[in-house]
Structure 1
Amino acid sequence: MDRPTPVIRWYGARPLHLLALLASFALTGYAAQRLVAERPLAVAVWFVGAAVAHDLILLPLYSIADLSARSVLRRLPGPVPAVPWINYLRVPAALSGLLLLVWFPLILRLSEPYPGATGLSIDVYLDRWLVITGVLFGAAAVGLALRIRRARRAGRSASDDEAVREP
């Protein structure tokens, strides 16, 4: 049995993970410093508003959606796959929701000054968001299918090994 290195014992993950985490903190700190230096009140208002909106609106909404998805899929007939499938639904839904949250004025065609300021049409954003959402869910479905297939093969090969061992 391999003994964990001192870094893994102390930190809990490999050194490359720690390095990536420190780099992301440095980048985040740099971006925050630049934003706060230019518009400190706007950043504070945005941060408080985002925290309140997340905790009071978004968290209950996606918790209810997650519980509903689990409840519906738990009641389907047939065996439930041994693969943890819920993240294959959560990740594309979260990414699609994040894109909608960031770009909703353009997706819902609510942004009046955008075409005048840039000369670009806002008619394509809804279609593009729907395509991206479809691709995200399609990729998640393919990933889940591959994971289920691999789990079934591993289970089948383990049962084949046991059948060979028995006299």
Structure 2
Amino acid sequence: MRTRGLPLPRAVALGSPLHLLLLACSFALAGYAGTRLLAGDWFGIVLWFVGAALLHDLVLVPLYGGLDRAAVRAFGTLGRREWAGYVRVPAALSGLLLLVWFPLIGGRVADRYRSATALSADGFLGRWLLITAVLFGGSALLFLWRLRRATKRRPSADH
């Protein structure tokens, strides 16, 4: 139904009760982790959550969205857009690991990590690079295996 040429607003889709419960639990867990991480510094907790949301939404989403579009476009020029997944998945997993472990990979909290765990923070960069290489190597092997299997199934052309 329209009023003066404008569509009426649609009802907001909230999802199932289970979905809402899981969403509430995830927010509660994130809040608990933030309070434990920053130990009573309420301003720091709020600043950290707001900063993380803004950094993600204003910087990271356009960045990895643009990289994904570039990869899909590059494979699209070859006529093989579906091949982008072989780059997309290991890149997303490697990026997620970098995002989670960045302070240790960058060596910014080595002293704090050592004092809290009595372990050395050395090696996080090397291990992240190794995991990234394994992810991309495994994806390349899977790609080659599927490509080879597809060419074996294709019937040969009669001359």
Relative to the length of structure 2, the TM-score reads: 0.65
Per the alignment, residue 109 of structure 1 pairs with 107
Per the alignment, residue 88 of structure 2 pairs with 90
Equivalent residue runs for 1:24-103 within 5 Å: 29-36=24-31, 39=35, 46-72=48-74, 80=78, 82=80, 84-103=82-101
How far apart, CA to CA, are the structure 2 residues paired with 1:97 and 1:60? Answer: 14
Q: How far did 1:82 drift?
A: 4.7
Q: Percent identity, aligned pairs only?
A: 45
What count of residue pairs does the alignment treat as equivalent?
Answer: 132
* Structure 1: stretches of 5+ with no match in the other structure: 1-21
Bigger fraction of residues in helix: 1
Q: How far did 1:36 drift?
A: 4.2
Q: How far did 1:125 drift?
A: 0.3
Aligned-residue RMSD, C-alpha:
3.2
Distance change in 2, residues 1:30/1:104 (3 Å): same
Relative to the length of structure 1, the TM-score reads: 0.62
2:75, 2:81 within 8 Å by CA — same for their partners in 1?
no
Say yes or no: does 1:136 pair with 2:135: yes
1:88, 1:140 within 8 Å by CA — same for their partners in 2?
yes
Higher relative CO (Cα under 8 Å, sequence separation at least 6) belongs to 1
Per the alignment, residue 145 of structure 1 pairs with 144
* Structure 2: stretches of 5+ with no match in the other structure: 1-17, 36-41
Query: Which amino acid in the other structure matches residue 55 of structure 2?
Result: A
1:83, 1:147 within 8 Å by CA — same for their partners in 2?
no
